Structure 1
Amino acid sequence: MTESTSVLRQHAETQYARELEALAAGDTRQKPPRWKLSPWAVSLYLLGGELPSGERISPKYIGNRRVIEIAVATLATDRALLLLGVPGTAKSWVSEHLAAAISGDSTLVVQGTAGTSEEAVRYGWNYAQLLSKGPTHEAVVPSPVMRAMREGKIARIEELTRMPGEVQDSLISTLSEKALPIAELDDEVQARKGFNIIATANDRDRGVNELSSALKRRFNTVVLPPPRCADDEVEIVQTRVASIGRALELPAETPALEEIRRIVTVFRELREGATADGKVKLKSTTSSMSTAEAISVITHGMSLAAHFGDGVLRSADLAGGMVGAIVKDPVQDRIAMLEYLETVVKEREGWKDLYRACREVMD
């Protein structure tokens, strides 16, 4: 087993290296400075399609084509890109693949948290060298943003709104002036052509810090919506589950499409507060009921089926993960879940097995 195949999750540029190479080989359109692919080819990489050579490019994002085209076009300008959406709308996934296709490197990442410091988006110091030699260029520890500026690449900032406000605002001068001052050395790092920033954010979770108006003006905001229809969401879940199953080497059979559709239906109905036909209103839950959580439930069920069953995914394998994803609040969510089971799942034709499995978990 090679090093690249032994890691749990490969970076996008490694996992899809063959597709990126095929796109680059047949890409005759104009490329912005230091881009590996033209904007057209980047869009094709994200959305999928077929090259004149017959090489098939798998879709990384299933949704509105124009959303991806706007995002790619933004990165070809001097405006940074903010991918905004509710949890589970593939913001990080799209960010990673955009960086992989444009820069060939998706690893220049800052993860935003309440504890993220200004050094994470600017620079820090190697204190051993700082104490022995004082402030020197060799003692500077560059952030992913500084490295991206030096190399003319895309930097990614995940969960920008989780950072403290003062850390967020430390990006303003970088985005405006395309330079990062190093005051201690009376010097600066100027961004090379090809540099830009992709940030992701949502405004639904707790612990979110509103972006200042000054910072918002430095970004072009693109909203990634939830999947518009059940068929799109089923396709997304099916594709991602198959990919994760291969990476984890789960010895379970590929989940039946009907089981995936049932989980997607449950999540969509609880997310929207009504059954698909609109006849039954449902209590809301505190959980986001995102596509990402649906993928997790199916993957968890495959693991149960593989290691504690016969390898065939059934409702009993799904019930535990499904209840765990829905019931985050032991009071409000439990009431909503029980009502949904009794008024919808129990009465729906062909769903009695799922009803019994979920009641067994909850009782």
Structure 2
Amino acid sequence: MSTSQSTPMPSAPTGPPDAVLRPHAETAYAAELAALAAADDRPRPERWRLSPWAVATYLLGGTLPDGTVVTPKYVGPRRIVEVAVTTLATDRALLLLGVPGTAKTWVSEHLAAAVSGDSTLLVQGTAGTPEEAIRYGWNYARLLAEGPSRDALVPSPVLRAMAEGLTARVEELTRIPADVQDTLITILSEKTLPIPELGEEVQAVRGFNLIATANDRDRGVNDLSSALRRRFNTVVLPLPATLDDEVAIVARRVAELGRSLDLPQLPSALTEIQRVVTVFRELRDGVTADGRTKLKSPSGTLSTAEAISVVTSGLALAAHFGDGQLRAADVAAGLLGAVVRDPATDRLVWQEYLESVVRERADWKDFYRGCRDAAAL
């Protein structure tokens, strides 16, 4: 008779924070948050770790009186951040809306980290998200043994945020089924969550609020009801306004990811980053940067987040299989995968762009060859 041994559950990492592949914002930027808290002498809403001014500074960057440099987490119009922060200081929830890759999740995480010191009270929206993910569930062993009780109740991240006066997050709200979405109506309007099984309710304490994200390409998936939409103040996060802004965002995030993945330090990758971002922006806008040539746009979004992924993959190729210098051939395969999502139509769009635009740029000959070679594989 054969015997089998159960596989032990993996334990949580016990090493330093930099051993974690992706630390939470409040851990990764703990020094900046501590410096901001020490320098922050402005009024703070109840249970906020920082004042609204300091939260905005944390997201947008700046230099504190003691010389501490706060790195920008978001590059975009200051007013957008100010409106988002002040919304959280009111009784209205915040909905961050935009096309995929406009840093909605990133901004949501950093807002929660700066306001509450905890960005982990998260509900990830999917087509299968149940009502219990927003309200509460039960420990069924205890429920069967003892009946309904507080000890048998398993609070959702939203319920925990209500009870502790923290910021909850709901990602991809429009992916959640409509009847589950509407669970939020009573929470956001009455600031209470009834628990009929116990004959009780949980009332939100001061400091509680909720940040939801949704992308505006999802219209028609599970549109928000008018009743729910009224409970949110909607802030639209745009794509980066200029080429230089987008290049700066990609360069900074690629450097951060490279450090977290222990990729070897490479010489400047700015040339290839500028090229990738230029390609994305031109195909996204349907016109070349000089405005002279109209282009067909592929089916994908070609977001800033995808540009970051393309360059990071290229850096890994250059570091492990190249000569240590990021070259056009290293980013070409990732670029092809990002642009050509629908082989029937996007491949023609990409080939036309290569032949009519990239081929004609005198200083892009190596880029043209790399992309052509990648397409032939």
TM value normalised by structure 1 = 0.98
CA distance in 2: counterparts of 1:252 and 1:355, whole angstroms: 26
* Contact 2:109/2:119 (<8 A) preserved: yes
- Residue equivalent to 1:232: 245
Please list the CA deviations of residues 210-247 of structure 1 after superposition, one character each: whole Å capped at 9, or x if unmatched: 10000000000000000001010000001100100000
Equivalent residue runs for 1:112-191 within 5 Å = 112-191=125-204
Which residue pairs with 1:210 in the alignment?
223
Shift of residue 256, structure 1, vs aligned partner: 2.3
Partner Cα distance (1:54, 1:208) in 2: 48
- Measured after TM superposition, the shift of residue 203 of structure 1 is 2.1
How far apart in 2 are the matches of 1:208 and 1:269? 28
**Secondary structure, counterpart of 1:346 in structure 2:** helix
1:7 paired residue number: 20
Kindly report structure 1 stretches of 4+ aligned residues shifted beyond 2 Å.
205-208
Return the alpha-carbon distance in structure 2 between the equivalents of residues 116 and 190 of structure 1: 23
Task: Tell me what 1:35 maps to.
Answer: 48
Deviation for aligned residue 1:3: 3.3
Partner of 2:332: 319
CA contact (8 A) 1:23 1:41 kept: yes
Alignment deviations for residues 9-44 of structure 1 (CA, whole Å, 9 cap, x no partner): 000000000000000001000000000000000000
Matched residues in 2 for 1:130 and 1:195: separation? 29
How many residues are aligned here? 363
Deviations 1:221-276 (A, max 9, x none): 00000000101000000110010000001014054211111100000000001101
Secondary structure of the structure 1 residue equivalent to 2:194: strand
- Please give the residue correspondences for 1:1-363 in structure 2 after superposition, counting only pairs within 5 Å: 2-205=15-218, 208-363=221-376
Q: Structure 2: how far apart are the matches of 1:189 and 1:174? A: 10
Q: Give yes or no for contact 1:34–1:103 (8 Å, CA) kept in 2.
A: yes
The change in CA–CA distance for 1:207 and 1:322 in structure 2 (over 3 A counts) is farther
In the alignment, residue 178 of structure 1 is paired with which amino acid?
Answer: K
Distance in 2, matches of 1:67 and 1:357, equals 39
| RMSD over aligned Cα atoms | 1.1
**Structure 1: unaligned runs, 5 residues or longer:** none
Equivalent position SS for 2:90: coil
Whole-angstrom CA distance in 2 between matches of 1:314 and 1:266: 15
Q: TM-score, normalised by structure 2?
A: 0.95
- 8 Å CA contact retained: 1:255, 1:302: no
Tell me, in whole angstroms, the C-alpha distance in 2 between the residues paired with 1:341 and 1:76: 49
